[in-house]
Amino acid sequence: MMIAETTGRAACLIGWPAAHSRSPLIHHYWLRLHGITGGYSIEAIPPEGFAEFVMHLSTHGFAGANVTIPHKERALQLTEPDERARAVGAANTLYYDGAVLRSTNTDVEGFISNLDVAAPGWDRTGDALVLGAGGASRAVVFGLVERGIPRIHLANRTMERARVLADQFGARVIPAAWNTLGELLPRTGLLVNTTSLGMNGQPPLDIDLALLPRDAVVADLVYVPLETPLLSAARARGLRTADGLGMLLHQAVRGFELWFGLRPAVTQELRALVEADLL
Ligand code: NAP
């Protein structure tokens, strides 16, 4: 844990290498909309410089930060993490609470808020089936556990990873073999893709959505392309959907609120702005 003074009203994204990110676009939009004098920059910090940068974040002029690859696990150790960051095993948002630098994982809130907006009542549709057991899956599974979903089936190509993740989250999370999807789909109320399948350059996620109940909701974390083959198949069947861009926008809300003191809204205008940047 580190102690420091908070100064300035700027935040940044710390990563290595400095990858292209939509976060500056999102936060600058909200800063402009609310007339807040502040900034959001991208800081390329190599692993060997990360601890120094984070421990002196306020001296570097920042009220907080987002953290991305490869620093998310290290950020957990250098800050005071909340339950979400601890459970996910990665912190993506840092902020000062007085002199204490705290951290959270806003992917959890991004995933759940997006579903609440896109498919109200999604949490009363039955079992959840989560595909994938990587970093994003941990945030999704924790969000579903936190919301009180009674049964969460977790299927992954490498089943051992699903077992390890399920063990960590307790009895409500049930590991499943990929070849049992056909049996699980008819009792699935929420289907979530957290694998990279369906992303541009990757094969599509090949599953038969005809097996899902009529009131099922389908969520995809992939947002390039905006409409994945999974989402378009779900829409063609008349199922409600929640897309990856919605999650990305909603996960940014909490960081902005923590740094700039105002809870911003995910508007259609913001969505259009980021969509245009993705094309
Ligand atoms: P990750 O840790 O690398 O995990 C990748 C997952 O995809 C693993 O479960 C992996 O299975 C599975 N997978 C990869 N190729 C596969 C294939 N050919 N067949 C079956 N399964 C395959 O990645 P991540 O960080 O969790 O990210 C996953 C996706 O979520 C990415 O597309 C990312 O862009 C997206 N994401 C979106 C948001 C958002 O805000 N919308 C946030 C976070 C992540 P194995 O374990 O068997 O390798």
194 CB under 6 A from ligand 1?
A: yes
The encoded tokens of residue 219 equal: 């969520």
DSSP annotation of 158:
S
19 CB under 6 A from ligand 1?
A: no
**Which amino acid residue places its CA nearest to atom 2 of ligand 1?**
134
160 CB under 6 A from ligand 1?
A: no
Q: Is the pTM of this model over 0.75?
A: yes
pLDDT digits (tens, 9 = 90+) for 140-178: 999 999 999 999 999 999 999 999 999 999 999 999 999
Q: How confident is the model at residue 218 (pLDDT cuts 50, 70, 90)?
A: very high
Task: Please tell me the distance from the alpha carbon of residue 215 to that of residue 81, in angstroms, as a whole number.
Answer: 37
199 CB under 6 A from ligand 1?
A: yes
Pairing of strands 93-97, 100-104: antiparallel
What atom of ligand 1 comes closest to residue 202's alpha carbon? 18
Collapsing DSSP to helix, strand or coil, 2 comes out as coil
- Give 227: exposed, middle or buried? Use CB within 10 Å, 0-12, 13-18, 19+: middle
pLDDT the model gives residue 18: 81
Non-local (6+) Cβ contacts of 228 within 8 A are: 193, 198, 199, 204, 205, 220, 222, 243, 244
Q: For the chain, first and last CA: distance in Å?
A: 41
pLDDT the model gives residue 125: 86
Interval between CA 161 and ligand 1 midpoint (Å):
12
pLDDT over 60 at 3, yes or no: no
pLDDT over 50 at 53, yes or no: yes
Interval between CA 136 and ligand 1 midpoint (Å):
7
Pairing of strands 188-193, 217-220: parallel
193 CB under 6 A from ligand 1?
A: no
**Which amino acid residue places its CA nearest to atom 11 of ligand 1?**
157
pLDDT over 70 at 2, yes or no: no
Ligand 1 pocket test: pick from 195, 222, 230 the residue with the most ligand atoms within 8 Å of its Cβ.
195
Query: What would the mean pLDDT of 226-231 be, rounded to a whole number?
Result: 97
Q: How confident is the model at residue 4 (pLDDT cuts 50, 70, 90)?
A: very low
Task: Please tell me the distance from the alpha carbon of residue 18 to that of residue 253, in angstroms, as a whole number.
Answer: 22
pLDDT the model gives residue 106: 98
* DSSP codes, 197-243: TTSTTS------GGGS-TT-EEEE---SSSS-HHHHHHHHTT-EEE-
pLDDT the model gives residue 20: 85
176-197 b/e (C-beta count within 10 Å ≥ 16 → b): beeeebeebbeebbbbbbbbeb
pLDDT over 50 at 6, yes or no: no
